[in-house]
Structure 1
Amino acid sequence: MKINPIHKQQNGLTLIELMIAIVLGLILVAGVIQIFVTNKQTYRVTEAQSRLQDNARFALEILTRDIRSTGYSGCRAIEKMNINQIANAPIPSPMGVNTIITGSDADSATTWSPSTPAELGTTVIGGTDVITLQRGTSCGATLTENIGSSDGEIPVVLPNSCKISEKDILMIADCEDGHIFRVTSINDNSGSTSQAIGHNSTLNQTDNFCKSYPASDPDDPSPAPSVCLTGESKQYNYDAEVFKFSAITYFIKLGHNGEPALWSYDQTTATGANNPSELIEGIENLQVLYGADDNDDDIVDRYVTAKVINDANDWDKVISAQISILAQTLDTNLTTSNQSVEFNGSTIAGTEGRLRRVFSSTIAIRNRVQ
């Protein structure tokens, strides 16, 4: 009798099969990890690009708004009005045809022409431009009645959008004259339908609104006389309007995070914890060219730097501004190689794998163009 051997079936995996399974599993896991890493990097780049564009758009929006409305005085172009400034310090340059838009051009990494405002010290990043804009703001309060005297309180409608406080610098103007002064008192009348604005000599050079101050240089109204000369008293009527006065300098400085940012300096208030103030992070450079109208036809004949305009004393000819900003991402290591960009006629080398983009805009000054 022949006995057949019993063949046992194999149980489990051989070592080779196990190694193959492990290798396939590792390949699969590596693929998943690679997809995750790629998607994460794509998300970082997309998010950084979005923030860069938002920051640049906000910067352009702020600059465009103020440039477009610079010189606003409520009624006529500044060239056709008589503006007097009587507010005490801190005050900007007296508002006039040569001061509603001014700037400083970066000659080098350490010098500007003309010089930057002294209050900025050495904080401005080298090679970046500075621009200063003066205007009455969109906030406005109309008079409820005529002012009986040149030193009388100013009665304005309440409520209004100005939210006026003591020590604010305001502008009162009709279509002929204007005065820039500092508020010394605010009195709400019964029923809160109007308020009276005081402007005495505690915060101003004089109590009086005069049509002219002959004791002063036209570009520097101090010291103003204590009383107006005969026929020079200005008594504003109900057709006048009161505005908050704005004189803002925009410049590039290192932000709170140590990276370049767009800053603003309010020339109507003292420097302190919140002045200057950081506006928008990620703005690396600001360049400004000024459009000059040489023959009064409301057409730009040339775009030149602040130095050229200032050397020729042509600020009164500026009817537009061309601004360019270089924006960068805050995040680093977004690209495998550093990006270089063309900006202001030069190649700017990239650093730290950041993304950079150039944004430009040309803005007409409405109060200069008929």
Structure 2
Amino acid sequence: ACRRAEAAAGRARGDAELLGRAADTCWPVDQMKTRAMLESHLKRHPDDAFVLLIYARVEQRLGRRAQAVEALDRAMKKPAEDPRIPFNAGQLAADLHEPQRTEKYFSEYVRLLREQSGGEADLSRLEVWLRMGEAALTQQAPARAAEYFAQLQSGPFAAQARIHEALALADLGRGDEALERLERGRRALPLDAPVLYGAESQLLLELGRPADALALMRKAVVEHPDEPDVLYETAMLEENAGDSDAAEKHLRALITLSPAHVQGLNALGYLYTVRNAHLKEARELLERAYKAEPLDPYILDSMGWLSFREGRFRAAAEFTAASLKRLWDEEVAAHLVEILAADGRRAEAEAALGEMSAHGSAQAAAKLAARLGLTPPPAAGSAK
């Protein structure tokens, strides 16, 4: 196929699009031949923007970044009339992690579309708004990014744009405006309302409004009772608010709806473990979660704390230590200290207290030592 494509391109010298198709055909089997075909064409047509962009892509895939950027700039040296040229240039610039070029070339693409349609083109579905916004954020320009995201109002990427727009506005200190964008998005994009509810709730938490976040997600549960993520996020907020009965209700509904929901299995199993109740059911739930995600540090901690509740201290210590190796967490570290102390492993428990202190949890370590009757770790800078 490559030989035939190369021959066809050779018979139609100067046909850039045919050469491009030949390059696509040959690339998987002979990368150097592909590059040579493009270089041969560019010797005769050094300003062919279409082929220059293909050549730049080849250089990028070969790991020759500087050459790719140089070919990209050559391709965009003259104003383009074909919108495909700045579009392809913008995509390549994004892949090369060149945010200024990405924004510049996609802006040129949008300008050409508007110009050639007499201003009548509907650009509200274009994914390039996302790419332009992301490029602006990389350049520390959230206001410009928010303007780009705001342009994307419909289609499969609209919900993502609303979330990005809200985050950019929040970064500018315009939290109420960000919340309004998400609320408006929920109304305009009903199929995406569950994910937008979650984003709005998270933003409320970041703004220090946990009660409002919980109220919002409870409203979301009423409107979307069969959405697993809505049930899970609501349960987590309820648990954090101290309403474990409501959290249990929603987690049970979640697992009935989605029996393989790993986070839901872990959350309900851990809830029972913390209560020191329904431990048989907690084990069944957590073992299902553990079989699905045996390396998840949160599940490992849940398995460890459940084993502790069951009096299986050796297994508890192994699970909890494994969790800490994957992700250090103050609460999990405290679990390990308590497990070791209950197992009579005082020296190891005090060593674990030292680890807590070394990770910046000296105050928590001292309080835990006092509660368990252990020797607290030495204060920072003191002699041992």
Q: Say whether the fold is shared (TM-score over 0.5).
A: no
Normalised by the length of structure 2, the TM-score is: 0.19
Higher relative contact order (CA 8 A, sep 6+): 1
Normalised by the length of structure 1, the TM-score is: 0.20
Q: By percentage of residues, which structure has more helix?
A: 2
Q: By percentage of residues, which structure has more strand?
A: 1
User: Highest Rg: 1 or 2?
Assistant: 1
